[in-house]
Structure 1
Amino acid sequence: MPYTVTPTALHGVLILEPKVFGDARGFFFESFNARDFAQCTGLDVQFVQDNHSKSAKGVLRGLHYQIAHPQGKLVRVTQGEVFDVAVDLRRSSPGFGKWVGVLLSAENNRQLWIPPGFAHGFLVTSDSAEFLYKTTDYWYPEHERSLLWNDPGIGIDWPLEGEPLLAAKDAAAVSLAVAPSFAWLPQR
């Protein structure tokens, strides 16, 4: 198998670790192969958009989601390290309001699959990080929402050193108690 797939504590969120072939010259791995992804995860998804960001240490992006046109995301880091977080916003799920966090880095080559119906964010823990992700739907700014990164009702244990650097929309985000959520989405 080209990936090792490990389920997380939240149903549907998966850690994927690709097979890396390396020697004295460097390394090679397939970061994505649709056939292998479907075979290893049992998911039949189509990605329509790739995004790439670079952020400095202490930048916290998120927790973002789209209330209409929800996106599944396959995320990874190509430079540096981040603490990546998914929060279940599917009211029909036993995991509603719970979170899972995973260290993703250029060193460990891990990827995280986050199904539609989750808020997503990450904190840069290295000097800088480049973050790439594929989405199953397009970005619709009118449908984007932000869940408060430090909502005590969720209790994410971010590995912070001081206060994070936030975008204005993330600083103005709302708590889970008032955030729009998903009445029902398949628990893939």
Structure 2
Amino acid sequence: MRVEETDLPGVLVMIPEPFRDDRGFFTRTFDAVIFDEYLADPGASARFVQDSQSRSTRGVVRGMHGRSGRGEAKLVRCAHGAVHDVVVDIRPASATFGRRLAFLLDDEHFRHLYIPPGFLHGFQSLTATADVCYRIDRPHDPREDIAVAHDDADLAISWPLPVTQVSARDAEAPSWQQLLTHLG
């Protein structure tokens, strides 16, 4: 497994190296030793406490979501299909505050995205169906949920497809400016 840094400090792309033959493929989707060594944080892998999976149809956007308080770290991958994955830095003291990056996560290259605490996260399904798996380091607490509208003009996220559907909660998500007031 290779690890690549991104332009947003702390956000990492983890790239498994699958073995392919006439039967299909085999790949390691997580390696605690490599993860802990790369983060220079012995035991960081043991802090993951919950795995979740979502299935979305083409054009669906899920996001932009984050956590208040101490935030949460996520390890995200697309197990089936492909997604356009977006992260936005919401760490007020960060030199990259407000910057966003997008990544292609798919079931061909198996890239994983490590997102440290202090980021909004969302994605759009690019295929008929896309299964996204999340590994997080804190139990979910709905009282800490924060969100920004996926179509917020200040964030100006370019979704590659027309947005076909969002959840009712995401449709009513506040603006970037409202989040700034909340982060105050």
1:18 and 1:5 map into 2 onto residues whose CA distance is 9
2:93 and 2:57 map into 1 onto residues whose CA distance is 36
Aligned residue runs from structure 1 range 69-108, under 5 A: 69-108=70-109
1:21: how far off?
A: 1.2
1:21 and 1:166 map into 2 onto residues whose CA distance is 36
The count of corresponding residues between Structure 1 and Structure 2 is 180
Q: Secondary structure at the match of 1:96?
A: coil
Identity %: 37
1:38: how far off?
A: 1.2
2:127 and 2:175 map into 1 onto residues whose CA distance is 27
Worse-superposed segment, 19-28 or 58-67: 19-28
2:164 and 2:93 map into 1 onto residues whose CA distance is 32
Partner of 2:34: 36
- 1:92-137 deviation digits (Å, cap 9, x = unpaired): 0011111110000011100000100101101001111011010011
Partners of 1:15 and 1:111 within 8 A in 2: yes
Q: Secondary structure at the match of 1:30?
A: coil
Q: Secondary structure at the match of 1:40?
A: helix
1:69: how far off?
A: 4.7
1:164: how far off?
A: 3.3
Partners of 2:61 and 2:163 within 8 A in 1: no
Task: Return closer, same or farther for 1:18/1:58 CA change in 2, 3 Å cut-off.
Answer: same
Out of 6, 10, 33, the position equivalent to 2:8 is 10
1:42: how far off?
A: 2.9
Partner of 1:112: 113
1:163: how far off?
A: 3.1
1:43: how far off?
A: 4.1
Partner of 1:171: 171
Question: Structure 1: which amino acid aligns with 2:113?
Answer: L
Q: Secondary structure at the match of 2:114?
A: strand
1:144 and 1:152 map into 2 onto residues whose CA distance is 21
| Higher relative helix content | 2
Question: Structure 2: which amino acid aligns with 1:12?
Answer: G
Task: Return closer, same or farther for 1:6/1:123 CA change in 2, 3 Å cut-off.
Answer: same
2:14 and 2:166 map into 1 onto residues whose CA distance is 28
TM-score (norm 1): 0.90
TM-score (norm 2): 0.92
